[in-house]
Amino acid sequence: MTTEVRRAIASASRIVVKIGSSSLTNRGGGINDEAIAALVRQLALRKAAGSQVILVSSGSIAAGFPVLGLKHRPRDLATQQASASVGQGMLIGRYGAAFSEYGVAVGQVLLTSDDVTRRAHYRNAQRTLFRLLELGVVPIVNENDTVATDEIRVGDNDRLAALVAHVVQAQALVLLSDVDGLYDGPPGKGGSNLITSVGSSSDLAGVSIGGAGSAGVGRGGMATKVEAASIANSAGIPVLLTSAALVGPALQDASVGTVFSPTGTRTSTRLLWLAHATTGNGRLHIDAGAARAVTKRGSSLLPAGITSVEGSFSAGDPVDLVDDQGRTVARGLVNFDSSELPGLLGRSTKDLAKELGPAYEREVVHRDDLVLLK
């Protein structure tokens, strides 16, 4: 199985590659031009061999550090956004110059979770990415850190890469870090061994997976990479995790690092993003009957099944559905503002339409905009 997965990654006709901040920037921030050149060379070679390549690149915030006089990643959102605003242009400029040496054009694609969970936005994002690939352009994707707030932030670029791989219907995902793979203990420590393949979550039982990213420039870590691999695997996409220093063999024959085998088949991209790239802006508490209808019968959520509303949100926002036992069972895009809902609870849509007009004869959360959560 491991050999088959590596072969599938090596031969993928469309591949997403993600690289972290620590692999692209200097320890105190600023772009490492040698690292950019080494990465781009291997991506250009893979493209020349016939594959379509999509790059998900971190580094915009760290790239702006020197210009703003910052020594480490700022904690407040406004300064992070300011640093990203300065650094993103610098980063895409370096990529453009490096790829031009191989006659390859690049296109910048900045995303937030809104861009894929909302129906019209998702179609636009997917259409843009597909057209760039058709034109022979390498899309360079990053989270739009200049405008992303906590509410619309994907969270980290490892997760973003897994979701982008699903959006573009990629056959493989390669995650490049500063560690050459997943270890069963702290890398470099005596007794720690490289895990060459992961077939399912049970293979990671008892494995200690680290947390925060290195060098004080990124927000990812090994835990986010394993989570990203799980997201991609659940959508039928094989994953290779290794270090940026090994990008050559990773893209040539996938002979290095740790491979994660697919565990599922492709599902709706929007629902994958809804489950993994959003948090609920509010909570809808539902009765036992509504919970059964939503989780067992694939039904939409109607006003009659809601017992209470928690939080402040607008129509179109993601909200969590909580059953009568206090368990969050689903997440969906709500069709009403939080201020509208209290007067609708427990009532049938027909009665509401008769009293308030036909606009109220609709679901609170439509089943097409709803995903079940484990």
| Cα–Cα distance measured from residue 185 to residue 39, given in angstroms and rounded to the nearest whole number | 28
User: DSSP labels for 292-309?
Assistant: HHHHHS-PPB-GGGEEEE
Residue 149 in this model has a pLDDT that exceeds 50: no
Residue 112 in this model has a pLDDT that exceeds 70: yes
Tell me: the pLDDT tens digits for 192-228? 889 999 988 777 776 767 544 444 444 447 888 998 9
Q: Give domain 2-273's CATH architecture.
A: 3-Layer(aba) Sandwich (3.40)
Tell me: the pLDDT tens digits for 293-338? 999 999 999 999 999 999 999 998 899 999 999 999 999 999 999 9
Task: Specify the CATH number of the domain 279-372.
Answer: 2.30.130.10
The amino acid occupying position 160 is L
| Cα–Cα distance measured from residue 2 to residue 260, given in angstroms and rounded to the nearest whole number | 9
| Cα–Cα distance measured from residue 309 to residue 284, given in angstroms and rounded to the nearest whole number | 5
Q: Where are the domains of the chain?
A: 2-273, 279-372
| Cα–Cα distance measured from residue 166 to residue 273, given in angstroms and rounded to the nearest whole number | 9
